[in-house]
A and B are shown apart, each in its own frame.
Chain A
Amino acid sequence: MATREGSFSVEDMKNVQINIGAVVKEADEWDQEMGPHPKPGVATLRSWDHMIANRYKIMYAPADDTCTLCTYGPCDLTGNKRGACGIDQAGACGKIVLIACLMGCCAHAAHGRHLYHWCMDKFGDMKFDMGDEILVDSPLYQTIMGTKPKNFKDFNEGLYYLEEEVVQLLAATHTGQESAFIDFESKALHAGMLDLLGMEICDMLQIVAYNMPRGAADAPIIEIGMGTLDQSKGVLIAYGHNLAAGAEAMLYAESNNLWDKVDIGGVCCTAHDLNRIGLGKGEAKVPAGIGMKPKVAGAMGWWRKMIRSGVMDCVMVDEQCVFCDVLADAEKRKIPVIATTDKIMLGLPDRTNDSIDAIVDDLVSFKMPGVAVLDPVKAGEIGIRVAIAVKPKRAEAKIQNLITEEQFKESVAKCTQCNECAFVCPPHIRISKLIADAVKGDLLPFSNYYEICVGCGKCEQSCPQGINILDLFEYANRQYIKNQKFKMRSGRGPARDTEIRAVGAPIVLGTIPGVIALVGCSNYPNGTKECYDIAKEFVDRGYIVVTSGCMAMDMSLYTDVDGKTIWEQYPGGFDGRNICNTGSCVSNANIGDAAIKVATIFAHRNHRGNFDDIADYILNKVGACGVAWGAYSQKAASIATGCNRLGIPVVVQPHSVMYRRSFIGRTDKPEDWMVIDARDGKMQQIEPAPEAMLYIAETKEEAMVEMAKLCFRPSDNSIGRGIKLTHYCDISMKYCGKLPDDWHIFVRDAKDLPLVYKEQMMKELESKHGWTIDWKAKKILTGPLRPADVSFDPTNLPRKIRTKK
């Protein structure tokens, strides 16, 4: 219930119960009225969700025809049958979707909760200050909570809210609770929104506590790749998402002048975050510029390749996206492992309370393969000391990281060409063919498929001959990984208010053709290079391209003819023809934040406690499209779902069918595309823009055509629509060899037509679609479903109608 300081009047009320909850003190500087939905509960935004679901049909691709969740099971749900509890297949799918979104949401929220306690312990309560250029400093928090955090302590309220909602949502998944698929999806959308909030809290806390860049378009260009790690030093790897222990390792190395003895390499999002530390312009509680000292080893998808490279001396894992066989892989190579959070303890003894010297001794002497140390300060010191001390010991132990030529030959000779391995390989690599070529002495195919192999290791487990296929890949590519050295822009943090002011109008009118957000990582359907290809296509065309996490790292591994990575080719602003690395996985919140800021800064919409209003604005007016290419995790599922609730469509890769649910419109049903014109409340049919909320593409080519299409918005003016149509048609011409079949449905006026195709299109409109054309005036007389109208104000919310009837 909305609670605000001040008075209220109650008229004509009977049998009304009034609950006075916490009174929010917001009489101070925030001039925005409280919106209708601060701290929305599970059902508060249900009508918004149902609006989404009615237009964007919930489509399930069940990965399982059965349910085994309770003792009545297994139940056969094939053909949408009902299980013993009464749930049908659609409901059972919805339940799994909700659980997946909750997993993703909780991963970020728990990370945030840990950081909250850790930062309060380490730094004490700090002022939440994003600097002069970011005054709308926590857009998601403000939109969802209806309050503005001013100090770290204030974020506690957001975390409490989130935690309570998550418990309610998880409760709904018990047998005999929710059963309607549409309500599971409403709840999943709620979980997705909570995930956006959790990510934002997490990122804001670390940006301020660790003085990270606050919207720095010129964030430094840093090195990335295993080849950047100096192998003459001890190499400590910090792998995961939570910077706490890795940061302590850095601080220990700094205060003990150990950088000439140790190199720290980050893997996965911890890498992004370590490399942002101390690069901001805020209150400095960490040494300035320290983030330039560690290296970015690489993205998590490269893990099994990296650990075989022989470069690592000690591995410190924190949380999320850590391969579960990390300990086995490390032990085999005598790389001590330190588990630093209670999320991942790997079965290791908890040595948090033991003396550092004793733990270091045990690890350096290989007495134990690893330890759990849950105090980040202690873990950081142990990591550095072990990496340095174990290096010579590992050298002495003559650890074999790579197989020898002889072993390689022996292994490939064992292959019977049975193709068992091909039956499990996600990108369908014909491993037997690579081996057959290798037997003939040609290792090139092994190199060509190196980046397409996602390093899952499934092939090894299926091989009846026990061939260690990943070792074969590593042997064939041994030079690559050791020399892998590229450039990446370090995480810049959120878009600045001034940047939003500059791009707000061009985005809404369409003259910047769209904002493309590339997220999700590691399970690419056809290799890491696709990240680069997609980003390059859109940044080159003048879109604003935003990326984060492992996707940002993976696209760094490719260069143009001049040897420049994408980060060196384009500037890092939130602007057309720019590419931003917003930061780690939790920095994905900045993408939602930027969309909210267009609504609130450019269009002056009140966002406070007003989620559906802002989402409605974004859906109708902000041409943004996410692409989760390679997305593997439940976090990707919840982030995409959160973006969907916020009105941002997302394209996903074909493996994403494992998420089971998509949202896709029926473009043949006019009634699904009716919106309200907020000027007078009249209903108006719009072109299907955007036509989907969660679209599954089979190939990167299809994805790119679709992404361009999903940037159309009903609010585009003619110049903007023309630009968007040009790119949509150009991309289709480039990859499909023809104009798309549906280009005409986006034409409202001859002025919308792209100049290059105008003549051809006008002819086709007349001959193929029966439109009437005034050829002299070059005007369309009849045909479009609505005229282009710059002041058209589309909305899906009746409360936005300005002239009440």
Chain B
Amino acid sequence: MAAEVKKGIDTTKNPIPFEMAQVPGPEQAKCYMPKVMGAIIKKAKRPLLVVGAELFDDPIMFDKIIEMGKMGIPIAATAHSVKGFVDRGYLENVYQIGLHPLTNNLRFPDWKGLDGQGQYDAVIFMGIFYKFANAMFATLKNFNRDIKRISVDRYYHINANMTFGNMAFIPDDYHAAVDEVIAAMQK
């Protein structure tokens, strides 16, 4: 494990859509290593973390997301995931909004964002029901290409720009990879 951490977790393996038949067309996401992912999120001017109710299945993820939130990245808590933040007493930059209305807003350049400060330039999806996240990525992929689509989820998300390979069945590696993303963001 220690050696792995040094080298970093390889998040580029197994680039198959988690729902196998979700192969939409010629443009498909690339897998990235956590460090690169972290650096790119860090570079984003208006990033938005978008999280969903699958976090309840792996509650430790709430803490990791709160860590990212504390670095100043606003969090859109979709579905009823806001409950996890309420329970942890962290609501600082957490907004309760459905993924559907959020994605609708994201596709319009004139949307002013959850804080009224303007449209986002990168969205980072985590802990969202696969098919739903995939579809909302598809909306942005096809109808607003100015926003970078990043998945830091445990699945290969074909409609993102940047994603991990499938890590759904290796939770320890996934957690370590997310930690590496966070570490890279902190650099």
A170: min CB distance to chain B, Å: 25
Instruction: Check B24 for interface membership: any CB of A closer than 8 A.
Output: yes
Whether the pair A696, B24 counts as a contact (CB closer than 8 A) is no
Query: In the complex, which of the residues B18, B108, B129 has the most CB atoms of chain A within 10 Å of its own CB atom?
Result: B129
Query: A90 to B86, alpha carbons, bound, how many Å?
Result: 39
Whether the pair A664, B128 counts as a contact (CB closer than 8 A) is no
Contact flags A75-92 to B (C-beta < 8 A → 1, else 0): 011111000000001100
Contact flags A636-674 to B (C-beta < 8 A → 1, else 0): 000000000000000000110110001010111000000
Interface size class, chain A: 35 or more
Count of chain B residues near A, Cβ 8 A: 51
Whether the pair A65, B27 counts as a contact (CB closer than 8 A) is yes
A residues 75-124 near B (Cβ < 8 Å) are 76-80, 89-90
Instruction: Check A66 for interface membership: any CB of B closer than 8 A.
Output: yes
One of B4-12, B77-85, B174-182 at the interface: B77-85
Whether the pair B129, A741 counts as a contact (CB closer than 8 A) is no
Residue on A with the closest CB to B83? Answer: A737
Instruction: Check A788 for interface membership: any CB of B closer than 8 A.
Output: no
Which of B24, B136, B168 lies in contact with A63, CB distance below 8 A? B24
Instruction: Check A790 for interface membership: any CB of B closer than 8 A.
Output: no
A residues 407-464 near B (Cβ < 8 Å) are 419, 422-424, 426, 428, 432, 462
Query: A706 to B102, alpha carbons, bound, how many Å?
Result: 14
Q: A59-B107, A63-B24, A706-B98 are in contact. Are A90 and B143 (CB under 8 A)?
A: yes
Q: A60-B142, A63-B135, A695-B100 are in contact. Are A736 and B25 (CB under 8 A)?
A: no
Residues of B close to A77: CB separation below 8 A? 25, 142
Query: In the complex, which of the residues A657, A698, A735 has the most CB atoms of chain B within 10 Å of its own CB atom?
Result: A698
Q: A428-B130, A654-B132, A698-B99 are in contact. Are A62 and B112 (CB under 8 A)?
A: no
Instruction: Check B103 for interface membership: any CB of A closer than 8 A.
Output: yes
Instruction: Check A208 for interface membership: any CB of B closer than 8 A.
Output: no
Whether the pair B111, A668 counts as a contact (CB closer than 8 A) is yes
Q: A428-B130, A736-B80, A738-B86 are in contact. Are A76 and B20 (CB under 8 A)?
A: no
Whether the pair A57, B138 counts as a contact (CB closer than 8 A) is no
Query: A386 to B82, alpha carbons, bound, how many Å?
Result: 57
Residues of A close to B142: CB separation below 8 A? 60, 62, 65, 77-80, 89
Instruction: Check B131 for interface membership: any CB of A closer than 8 A.
Output: yes
Which of A62, A664, A702, A736 lies in contact with B138, CB distance below 8 A? A62
Instruction: Check B43 for interface membership: any CB of A closer than 8 A.
Output: no
B residues 134-183 near A (Cβ < 8 Å) are 134-136, 138-139, 141-143, 145, 166, 168-169
Instruction: Check B67 for interface membership: any CB of A closer than 8 A.
Output: no
Residue on A with the closest CB to B96? Answer: A741
Query: A454 to B86, alpha carbons, bound, how many Å?
Result: 33
Q: A80-B143, A657-B132 are in contact. Are A702 and B20 (CB under 8 A)?
A: no
B175: min CB distance to chain A, Å: 17
Instruction: Check A495 for interface membership: any CB of B closer than 8 A.
Output: no
B residues 12-56 near A (Cβ < 8 Å) are 16-21, 24-27, 52-53
Whether the pair B135, A702 counts as a contact (CB closer than 8 A) is no
Query: A229 to B67, alpha carbons, bound, how many Å?
Result: 57
Residues of B close to A706: CB separation below 8 A? 98
Whether the pair A61, B139 counts as a contact (CB closer than 8 A) is yes
Instruction: Check A271 for interface membership: any CB of B closer than 8 A.
Output: no
Instruction: Check B73 for interface membership: any CB of A closer than 8 A.
Output: no
Q: A699-B53, A701-B80 are in contact. Are A664 and B100 (CB under 8 A)?
A: yes
Q: A62-B138, A696-B132, A737-B87 are in contact. Are A702 and B98 (CB under 8 A)?
A: yes
Which of A78, A668, A741 lies in contact with B27, CB distance below 8 A? A78
Instruction: Check A740 for interface membership: any CB of B closer than 8 A.
Output: yes
Residues of A close to B86: CB separation below 8 A? 736-738
Instruction: Check A311 for interface membership: any CB of B closer than 8 A.
Output: no
Query: A668 to B113, alpha carbons, bound, how many Å?
Result: 10
Query: A66 to B138, alpha carbons, bound, how many Å?
Result: 12
Query: A136 to B182, alpha carbons, bound, how many Å?
Result: 64
Residue on A with the closest CB to B24? Answer: A65
Residue on B with the closest CB to A60? Answer: B139
Query: In the complex, which of the residues B86, B134, B169 has the most CB atoms of chain A within 10 Å of its own CB atom?
Result: B169
Whether the pair B135, A657 counts as a contact (CB closer than 8 A) is yes
Residues of A close to B103: CB separation below 8 A? 59, 61
Instruction: Check A622 for interface membership: any CB of B closer than 8 A.
Output: no
Residues on B lying within 8 angstroms of A by beta carbon are 16-21, 24-27, 52-53, 78-80, 82-83, 86-87, 91, 95-101, 103-105, 107-108, 111-112, 128-132, 134-136, 138-139, 141-143, 145, 166, 168-169
Known contacts A78-B25, A668-B105, A736-B96, then 16 further A-B pairs from the complex at CB < 8 Å, ordered by chain A residue: A62-B138, A64-B25, A65-B141, A66-B25, A77-B25, A79-B27, A426-B19, A428-B130, A654-B129, A657-B132, A658-B131, A692-B101, A698-B79, A702-B53, A738-B82, A741-B97
9 closest A-B pairs by beta carbon, nearest first, are A65-B25, A657-B135, A737-B86, A61-B135, A701-B80, A698-B79, A654-B132, A696-B100, A737-B83
